[in-house]
Amino acid sequence: MQAQDEALVAVSEETFEKTVLEAQRPVLLDFSAEWCGPCVAVEPVIRDLASEYADRLTVGTVDVDEEPELAAHYGVRSLPTVLLIEGGRVRRVLVGARSRQEYRAAIEGLLH
């Protein structure tokens, strides 16, 4: 998860406010860790979604080992956890590995 695609943004405590809370468009925020098997399995899907929705959605990742405060703030207890945030407010939470179709349906529900 170290190498990030341009469409996928690594989010840290320092960049969180600007990237997520002040975002002008909805944000998909993926809480994950390198040691998490389901997170590794979902990572290519998240990357694809970041590219697919690059013009309408910000897609960010939070490494819970590097940013435990962010995970704690949002009550993340299981990985992966994906938050869909709009206007600084959590609109949807998806816990556990999901299919591409489930993520797309959640995104489409937020965008429409």
User: Which positions are catalytic?
Assistant: 36, 39
Q: Is the pLDDT of residue 4 over 70?
A: no
pLDDT recorded at residue 3 = 40
pLDDT recorded at residue 1 = 39
Backbone dihedral angles phi then psi of residue 89, each to the nearest 5 degrees: -115, 140
What is the pLDDT confidence band of residue 98, given thresholds at 50, 70 and 90? very high
Q: Is the pLDDT of residue 86 over 80?
A: yes
pLDDT recorded at residue 41 = 97
Q: β-strand 58-63 against 81-86: which pairing, if any? A: unpaired
CA distances from 37 to 21, 40, 55, 80, 91 (A): 29, 5, 29, 9, 26
Query: How big is the chain by its Cα radius of gyration, in Å?
Result: 12
Task: Give this prediction's pTM.
Answer: 0.92
Q: Is the pLDDT of residue 66 over 90?
A: yes
**Which domains are delineated in the chain?**
8-111 (3.40.30.10)
